Amino acid sequence: LLSGRETLGSSNMEKDVSLKFHQQVFLISENLVTEDVAALKFLCTDLLHLSKLEGVKSAADIFKLLMAQEYLNAEDTFLLAELLYRIKCYSLLEKLGYTKEKVQECLHEKGRVSPYRQMLYELSENITNEMLKEIIFLLQNCLPKRWINLSALDLLILLEKQGLLTKDNVQILEDVFTNVSPYLLQTIKCYKKAKVLCCNIYSSPDVWTAAKLLKELGGLPSFWPTKMHKRRCVLLSCEHEGTAVDGFFCFNPRLNTGYFSALKPFFFSFLQTMTSYKMNGPHRGFCLIINNVNFSSCQRKGSCKDAEQLERVFTWLGLDVRTYTDLTSGDIRSLMQTWQHVQDHKDRNCFICCILSHGESGAIYGIDEKRVPIRALTSHFTAKHCPQLAAKPKLFFIQACQGNNVQRPVCVDTDGQTPALSSMQESVSLFESIPEEADFLLGMATVDGYVSFRHILEGTWYIQALCSKLQLLVPRGEDILSILTQVNEDVARRVSSSGTKKQMPQPAYTLRRKLIFPIPMAPPPS
């Protein structure tokens, strides 16, 4: 009888676990939109039969197929967590008891999405509409005539169906991206090099060839010790002790069985680095600083302190900084148009523009006190208008009020115009100021409708916090969004000398990858 009760209790517990699991899966599926479902279908292509995937209408359909194939169950939900991580639905991970960091830790051991599939998905995420039109035009002889409106994922699947694209043959992509986007071509080349490296090491103990290939990749596996990473060595060879191969020290894998198990995390960690923007080119990019100080009705005292600090910090980060002082609204528009057409962008990794001025909702002012919509500035650098910067991060940092509160305590000024100078404009959403296309970041000193504060001697709260956190956190390898979160915290802690004024910065972005500045060799400027 006791045994029967135990069996009954165990059965009820299993039912509860199963019910909870199905509820979790249902809630997750309800929060995924059409684009997410398309991405999930693509990422599961190597796991599920294509004929079954073609009938999928919702995320729930995909999850049922994965459960039927025993890829997903109440005891093991990691595949679902991995898929959510890959499509950047990080907020849904908590429904499975995961965090973004926990998934990252487990990927090298439990990850099921192949490096090949990851590489294709990363490409699709960075193919703009203009690029897609060019690709379809170049491949028109390979595509059925009925396929007119293709998404990037549809195109890749079609090429796979026709046998033109496989994990061992990505030549068609290389040919296309040589013409369409040399920047994205590097993603394909990195995939090929990493694949060759792993194959060579598994098939032959020729560590010297492996070392050379590793050097070509331009980096070391992230799982190796930091101390060794900084010394630019892998491990010391017992067979050729102290002998360097093109700047790398290696060891004989025959002497260490752990080496082979280390290859898998290397390959996955390497593919994860492809989710970061390329920032290791010989030229980092241009940084424009527009510093408007002398208005007809006032002077923005302390702004030159900001401009000087920005110039020091971004020069330290490897950018070619150009500073412009006291520009009218017309000058600002002309300057943006000029930089839109600079051909040297194609050899750079990114573009940054810092504007220090007065402002109002959705706009900044020239020294002639005429407004320039922020959207009018950022739109010059979309892929359509500035193809040299396509798929590259464009960062705009705006130090200007977004409202008209003019109360000024001693030594603290605001970056807003007086009511007499301000036109009565309707509030503009921050997200209306950035283009709909990818790869933009807009860092605003304050939320819409409010003033931002500037000390007449020490500079603005926002720019000084930004420069301080960049110097502190870039050497730690933090990405730009993590840094801006710290900037928010710093500024939010500050208070005006009267004890009554506070400020809250606000970033908005359409970045598709992490933006991590390479750690400079020189120490921070201050």
Where do the DSSP E strands lie in 113-212? Answer: none
DSSP-derived pairing of the beta strands 371-373 and 453-455: unpaired
And the tokens for 62? 């995909």
- What are 422-431's contacts with CB under 8 Å, separation 24+? 422/360, 423/360, 423/371, 425/360, 425/361, 425/362, 425/363, 425/371, 426/361, 427/361, 427/362, 428/361, 428/362, 428/363, 428/373, 429/362, 430/362, 430/506, 430/508, 431/508
Q: Determine the angle formed by the axes of helices 182-203 and 171-180, rounding to 10 degrees.
A: 150
Of 7, 11, 24, the residue nearest 76 (C-alpha) = 24
Of the listed 198, 250, 401, 467, which one is catalytic? 401
And the tokens for 107? 């990927």
Q: What are phi and psi of 434, to 5 degrees?
A: -110, 145
CA-based radius of gyration for the chain: 27
The C-alpha angle 93, 122, 177, rounded to 5 degrees, equals: 175
Give the single-character DSSP code of 231. T
Strand partners, 353: 288, 396
Give the single-character DSSP code of 143. S
Q: Does 358 qualify as catalytic in the annotation? A: yes
Where do the DSSP E strands lie in 417-483? Answer: 440-444, 453-455, 459-460
Q: How far apart are CA 88 and CA 104, in angstroms?
A: 12
Q: Is 382 exposed, middle or buried (0-12, 13-18, 19+ CB in 10 A)?
A: buried
Q: Does 44 qualify as catalytic in the annotation? A: no
- Evaluate whether 130 touches 387 at the Cβ level (below 8 Å): yes
Give the single-character DSSP code of 86. H
Residue 148: helix, strand or coil by DSSP? coil
And the tokens for 43? 């990422």
Q: Which residues have a catalytic role annotated? A: 358, 401
